[in-house]
Amino acid sequence: MIDHDVLIIGGGLAGSRAALAVAQNYPHLSVGLISKVHPIRSHSVAAQGGIAASLQNVDNDDWLTHAFDTIKGSDYLADQNAVRVLTQSAPDVIIDLEHLGVLFSRADNGKIAQRAFGGHTNSRACYAADKTGHAILHELVMNLLRLGGKIYQEWYVMQLIYEEGNNGQEIKGFVAYSLETSEIELFRAKAVLMATGGYGRVFNTTSNDFASTGDGLCLTANIGLPLQDMEFVQFHPTGLYPAGVLISEAVRGEGAYLINDLGDRFMANYAISKNRMELSPRDITSRNIACEIAAGRGINGGNYVHLDVRHLGREKILSRIPFAREEGLRLAGVDCIDSPLPVRPTAHYSMGGIPTNIDCQVIGTDSKAIAGFFAAGECACLSVHGANRLGANSLLECVVFGKRAGEQLGAYVSDRAMPKLDPLAYIADAEAKLKGLLSQRGNARIADIRQQLQDTMTEHCGIYRDDRRLREGLAKLQVLRDRYERDLWVDDRGSVFNMEMMQAIELKSLLTVGEIIMSSALSREESRGAHSRDDYPQRDDAKYLKHTLGYLEMGAVKTSNRPVDMSLQTIDRDRFTPQERKY
């Protein structure tokens, strides 16, 4: 059994920032960070465009305007006190990152440069060219190592330990296995932070990396805790066609045009986006692209439109968005200096996740904190993004709430004893599970079930949804789940870096998360933010201005809900009371 005061699952921006905060503020505590990939290969490293903060280096900005943009962008579903913390803390965390060594791009006057992003009133995205996540994550991990944080890389967490403690049910640690050797180990702590990122791999076209399989969400659902607002899946407007990898919003921030087969900048043709054009929020822009494609105005009648940057000129393209150019060259054979890039919407971000309060403590269906359990980053739902996240607000969330989680964890465990735990049964269970997977004699390949799951999710729970498609999709998922349980076949029977075995466990996460997304989508009979129902095209505040909770009960998904926090209304009733969303 391996003991730490604090254990953090996930080495992306949220997990690394949290671990660093523990190490900085509580040097006497031992903090362990575990990750199934090397921490700086976490998906955060791929973040490109920027991190939002009202620094006022370009525009006369302030945190309340940032909060307003975020809440309006969320279609009024965000919890307003959480948005207050996010936007008020933003300028400080950017300065803090700079002090940790992050090299942000500069304006001519030497200040941190800031660029425009969709749905933001002012230019407030700070960036390091179009490699912002890379610049930040490297410094966080280097600083963590410098301060003696212990990192367990290439370990896979397969079960949370949630059992009776001194004062009722509590999280006491988790079971993990080493990808290198398949050795199973029990990790025990006074508190655990979940920071496992998103689930983009549930869909067949995604900007997310291969590790974004929603494991933390599945681990949490498996112990009977709810996941919140899972119906809100962000489809980013500009995935490179056909690969799906991201062409950052920074490209539109720098002035790119979206063009259809007629050569029109079609954003002008939609009332909701004609003012902000290409810098409208993502849910709106993705829907417009989907409509153009459905109406046969995709390029050559096909499944994509054009993103054109030629008018920016070679020099600006090479200095501001070099990575986007590289991606176009590498994956589509298109040099955007001379030709437009083919793009279409791609599954990108999870607005939903593990519900937490503003101190990052995980909460149950009764809104009470779960002892010893915290969450931060994309796997958490605070909720600062509500029904639709604005670009550059996720890196910000990871850093603001990662830091806050670390500070809270340090304080929380300071007067807590190490929980009592009998490892034998857990280890035996995990061994049986891994052996079971390897000895199962079925006909279904992982890739086959995964492809069918991804196609089902994309077809039945994509940008547009309705009751019939969702119900049919759920029935298909049940069949896939049965096939997984009875008929899965894993070729590799070895114990050294058995990636197939890991993919088999990840596939279970994808199936569970997919079912909760679909069930939550079915339960919300309105259109709000990224959740667009053909059969309920209007937002319905009377019935649905509330968060959805989806949880497993006896193996089936159930849903309930909880209220939205509207506390900023007391500061500014005009701006923070729900109103029709126009841009």
Ligand X SMILES: Cc1cc2nc3c(=O)[nH]c(=O)nc-3n(C[C@H](O)[C@H](O)[C@H](O)COP(=O)(O)OP(=O)(O)OC[C@H]3O[C@@H](n4cnc5c(N)ncnc54)[C@H](O)[C@@H]3O)c2cc1C
CA gap 358, 78 in Å, rounded: 12
| Binding test (CB under 6 A) with ligand X, winner from 20, 34, 112, 312 | 34
Q: Total residues contacting ligand X (rule CB under 6 A)?
A: 47
Report in angstroms how near the CB of residue 500 gets to ligand X at its nearest. 16
x/- binding map, residues 329-368, to ligand X, per CB under 6 A?
--------------------x-------------------
CA gap 424, 421 in Å, rounded: 9
Tell me: does residue 529 bind ligand X (CB under 6 A). no
- What is residue 417's three-state secondary structure? coil
Smaller CB separation from ligand X, 281 or 377: 377
Residues 362-391 that bind ligand X (CB under 6 A): 377-379, 391
For 480-497, the three-class secondary structure string (H helix, E strand, C coil) is HHHHHHHHECCCCCCCCC
Smaller CB separation from ligand X, 51 or 461: 51
| Binding test (CB under 6 A) with ligand X, winner from 20, 21, 22, 36 | 36
DSSP state letter for 129: T
Query: What are 79's two structure tokens?
Result: 């919890």
CA gap 48, 44 in Å, rounded: 9
| Binding test (CB under 6 A) with ligand X, winner from 4, 5, 7, 11 | 11
- What is residue 211's three-state secondary structure? coil
Query: Which residue is catalytic, options 17, 201, 276, 282?
Result: 282
DSSP state letter for 192: E
Report in angstroms how near the CB of residue 434 gets to ligand X at its nearest. 14
- Beta-carbon contacts of residue 533 (< 8 Å; ≥ 6 apart): 464, 465, 466, 467, 524, 525, 526, 527
- Please name every residue paired with 374 in a beta bridge, in sequence order, or none if there are none: 193, 361
DSSP characters for 364-406?
-TTSPEEEEEEE-GGGEE-SSSTTSPPTTHHHHHHHHHHHHHH
To the query of whether residue 106 is one of the catalytic residues in this protein, the response is no
Smaller CB separation from ligand X, 342 or 377: 377
With CB under 6 A as the contact rule, which of the stretches 204-212, 306-314, 328-336, 482-490 interacts with ligand X?
204-212
Cβ atoms within 10 A of the Cβ of 417, count? 9
With CB under 6 A as the contact rule, which of the stretches 42-50, 177-185, 359-367, 449-457 interacts with ligand X?
42-50
Report in angstroms how near the CB of residue 373 gets to ligand X at its nearest. 16
| Binding test (CB under 6 A) with ligand X, winner from 80, 205, 208, 286 | 208
With CB under 6 A as the contact rule, which of the stretches 7-15, 260-268, 430-438, 453-461 interacts with ligand X?
7-15
Tell me: does residue 134 bind ligand X (CB under 6 A). no
| Binding test (CB under 6 A) with ligand X, winner from 7, 86, 375, 398 | 398
C-alpha triplet 267, 272, 276: angle, nearest 5°: 60
Query: Contact 188/171 with Cβ under 8 angstroms?
Result: no
With CB under 6 A as the contact rule, which of the stretches 5-13, 55-63, 413-421, 440-448 interacts with ligand X?
5-13
Burial class (CB in 10 A: 0-12, 13-18, 19+), 291: middle
Tell me: does residue 456 bind ligand X (CB under 6 A). no
| Binding test (CB under 6 A) with ligand X, winner from 6, 7, 8, 14 | 14
Tell me: does residue 207 bind ligand X (CB under 6 A). yes
Report in angstroms how near the CB of residue 561 gets to ligand X at its nearest. 24
Report in angstroms how near the CB of residue 116 gets to ligand X at its nearest. 13
- Please name every residue paired with 163 in a beta bridge, in sequence order, or none if there are none: 170
Tell me: does residue 149 bind ligand X (CB under 6 A). no
Provide the pairing of β-strand 305-308 with 532-533.
unpaired
With CB under 6 A as the contact rule, which of the stretches 46-54, 310-318, 427-435, 453-461 interacts with ligand X?
46-54
DSSP characters for 526-553?
S-BTTBEETTB-S--HHHHSEEEEEEEE
CA gap 221, 430 in Å, rounded: 18
- The set of catalytic residues is 282
Rule CB under 6 A: which residues touch ligand X?
9-15, 34-37, 39, 42-44, 46-51, 132-133, 156-157, 195-198, 207-208, 211-212, 215-216, 246, 248, 349, 377-379, 391-395, 398
